[in-house]
Structure 1
């Protein structure tokens, strides 16, 4: 048995594929509280196909399968590990492109040495196969422990928030639900940013919008906030399922992407268009008729790309999705362009969009020009935030006018924020995507900080008297309760408008009521 196993390990070069699994395993283990196992599959399969291609190209060049496999392992190691090793050892003292060029030269040099070798590479194949079979054991154990432990508490969204029933199909109005991430309310903009947003709000009111001027988010972060909006409930069922001590983000992510509102419109005769962000929970909607996004790489794949030599070079040269700032600027403009096109769609349409303005990174100015890192760094945080806000305001008014002009039946339009801006004391690195929201001890936040974080834009265009009698503190959790009751024959009624914060990253479902502190 041992001889057969040894012969197999000497003969069959599995090591380049095992290296891929090692890399993906390490990255997945560190992100288990935020990722589900199936979300890694497309990235792993892509890397496996790349390895197959490299081996196919190297086999005739190096003169043998095992030689080609060694070359493939070397190339994969270089692509995925070398930039990280250099940065860990030398910091930022060596330019990214320089380290990548030096690494590429080393790889080519080793391949040049391998090519004329007369060795059958059985010993090397054995060593690499064995080493890369043993290396992932720790990761495998960590995955098994987590998936059979904390992950077992995860409950299906349909069980926590069952499908809505008893609704009619309405009167054929288009419905637009547009989320502008971290768009603060007028008080926050005046108090913290010294900005008067009244001209914009009055322009919306002149077009028939109801502005809930004292609206406060129901939760302080996007995942919790939007999960409550689209499930039309507070998140107490998640607390019951996960307990007070959970640091597992996946349950709230699940209930954001698989929610009651999406399930209803996905099964209806509406055309359901979803426009997501780069962030996995809103990147795509499984119930949408069509997902429209720009370069929507899975977040796991994006993380690997950012670490890789190719990603480092692309970022340095401002190319493609690896250039996070340029990618984000292009995505923002793409969304507004696509939304304007959708306004002319004659079909009965339900549109959801998660638009990351004025959310950082600050990549666009008030005139819609993309900002490189140097230009953004030369401006203050306030200037950058307000630049994106003013760009959003102009784009919103143009879009609203287009929607209202094109609609055969007066549409329903919701312009809403999921959360307000981060207080400066708490903010992370706002120059690149995904680095702006550090772990925070929310219970230690001051009243002013919580008000900044949770007071939000909430503007509703509800034709036919749909806004009659609404309170000025209407909160987002009541959005679809209101729409379903007034346009789809529902009987949900409005919940009491309350605001909660989760305690910390270790207690994601332990909620404290802060309503009186933030109003």
Structure 2
């Protein structure tokens, strides 16, 4: 049989795109969206077809065309994994840099293709070996995907799956009219007064003194439990710490996404549902409770998983941002691209969140009790506001790009929002209302000598009966809802040790 009669694409070439997709799925089981996955697969097969047709025009040989296509596609799909391996082997930054790795990789690929084209013997036997190898790898990835899918169905992909508090919960059967409304307001990356004074020489007593006058309890020495939002807030809601095996991982994207999912499926929400609460969710995270059109944080993680290890993905992530004009706020390193690309939407989302929270207030005592979660990215980077709440210009964001310098301006604007919301809630909602104001963690862009302040956070609680005997000055958020349920819902939850745990991400 002559080579030109063998026109069918070998199985190894057809399996490579599916293998790549399954590999990404097994890194983030249950989190790869359907549409991006299908798009990735279609683009990969389209690329494969184009490369194969071009190779065929040069070789007129099925096996050679298939082998060359496989090599090029392998490079396109798994360049990131190849580069990461080189960086582990070669510690010299110059030798493992893109300036060296890309040219060397392209030269080696060219020489290998040249060798294949000139090879006299046919490559059909080698193609059979490749097909067998890819079939084995495909079966292994498919089996792993099957096991992961079963695991996801059991755990719902939550960071904390222990339901013992929910199962042991016994309601004291209060009337809905006697249950307090609960407002949980989070200001992302808002540190405490002591840190503001010590590090920035900025006095923030005016807002905490005002809160005290309104009857709030201020946790002056409090610290967050984790220095990453999904871990911090999910721990607050679950009233328990996360398994340490999920913390400190260098590649912790899967656990971060599990924690994000736990922001809307957790112990606190489960107990409140038992108490007939209506839960409102005004936070920038994907959730099944309520979508008000906020820009969702971490939503770009799963699609990135599909493309980050590809050659085009690495070029976009690590190289292209260098060529954006320096006068643009988009001229930021790869880790900041999502935040800075969407900064105009972030500005609008702040006012949208304020409006939505205010719209929930209702003085009727006969209605269903409610829990309102509002989350503000004001004090989180990128710093988008001046002290009075005016949105900064793109030029100002570039010329004054040091987060340390612009942080206190964000604090001042956050204080205005805080003051406005507390006043509105206390004037327009029923009197039996709890208000919790929390920074999920502190300012995270400190020099190494000041890293101890990463966890320092604002923590202020208002109980309508102003009975704060269970609170204390070192209390961390993991105990907030334990105290709340003990005080207002007849529970006896033990107080946990207050700890602050560093997350590698």
Bin the TM-score by the shorter chain.
0.5 to 0.7
Partner residue of 2:392 out of 369, 373, 396: 369
Q: Is the 8 A contact 2:12 2:130 kept in 1?
A: no
Q: Is the 8 A contact 1:420 1:456 kept in 2?
A: yes
Matches within 5 A, 1:387-402: 387-402=409-424
Partner residue of 2:166 out of 162, 174, 189: 162
**Match of residue 458 from structure 1:** 459
Distance 1:273 1:362, change over 3 A: closer
**Match of residue 300 from structure 1:** 302
CA deviations 1:245-267 (Å, max 9, x no partner) are 99988498476664211223456
Query: TM-score, normalized by length of structure 2?
Result: 0.63
**Match of residue 47 from structure 1:** 40
**Match of residue 216 from structure 1:** 222
Matches within 5 A, 1:182-201: 182-201=189-208
Matches within 5 A, 1:88-99: none
Distance 1:226 1:55, change over 3 A: same
Q: Is the 8 A contact 1:419 1:454 kept in 2?
A: yes
TM-superposed CA distance for 1:24, in Å, is: 2.3
Matches within 5 A, 1:107-186: 129=131, 132-133=134-135, 157-163=161-167, 164-166=169-171, 168=174, 170-171=176-177, 174-186=181-193
Distance 1:192 1:170, change over 3 A: farther
Q: What is the aligned residue count?
A: 437
Which of these two proteins has the greater Rg computed from alpha carbons? 2
Partner residue of 2:373 out of 347, 352, 364: 352
CA deviations 1:9-59 (Å, max 9, x no partner) are 72684145246337627x92xxxxxx5x22246454442244356679999
SS in 2 for 1:21: helix
Q: Following the alignment from structure 1 to structure 2, what is the Cα–Cα distance between the partners of residues 129 and 410?
A: 69
Matched, 1:324 2:330: no
Distance 1:136 1:11, change over 3 A: closer
Partner residue of 1:383 out of 384, 393, 405: 405
**Match of residue 433 from structure 1:** none
**Match of residue 491 from structure 2:** 492
TM-superposed CA distance for 1:162, in Å, is: 2.8
Q: Is the 8 A contact 1:20 1:44 kept in 2?
A: no
Matched, 1:81 2:79: yes
Matches within 5 A, 1:423-438: 424-426=446-448
Distance 1:15 1:457, change over 3 A: same
**Match of residue 273 from structure 1:** 281
Q: Following the alignment from structure 2 to structure 1, what is the Cα–Cα distance between the partners of residues 227 and 175?
A: 32
SS in 2 for 1:20: helix
Q: Is the 8 A contact 1:161 1:259 kept in 2?
A: no
**Match of residue 38 from structure 1:** 30
Q: Following the alignment from structure 1 to structure 2, what is the Cα–Cα distance between the partners of residues 310 and 198?
A: 47
Distance 1:13 1:228, change over 3 A: closer
Q: Which stretch shows the higher mean deviation, 52-61 or 336-345? A: 52-61
TM-superposed CA distance for 1:188, in Å, is: 1.4
Q: Following the alignment from structure 1 to structure 2, what is the Cα–Cα distance between the partners of residues 376 and 60?
A: 50
CA deviations 1:161-204 (Å, max 9, x no partner) are 43444154743765321222332211111012211111222344
Distance 1:176 1:330, change over 3 A: farther
Q: Which runs of 5+ in 1 are unaligned?
A: 1-5, 29-34, 115-120, 277-282, 428-447, 507-519
Q: Is the 8 A contact 1:215 1:457 kept in 2?
A: no
Higher relative contact order (CA 8 A, sep 6+): 2
**Match of residue 270 from structure 2:** 263
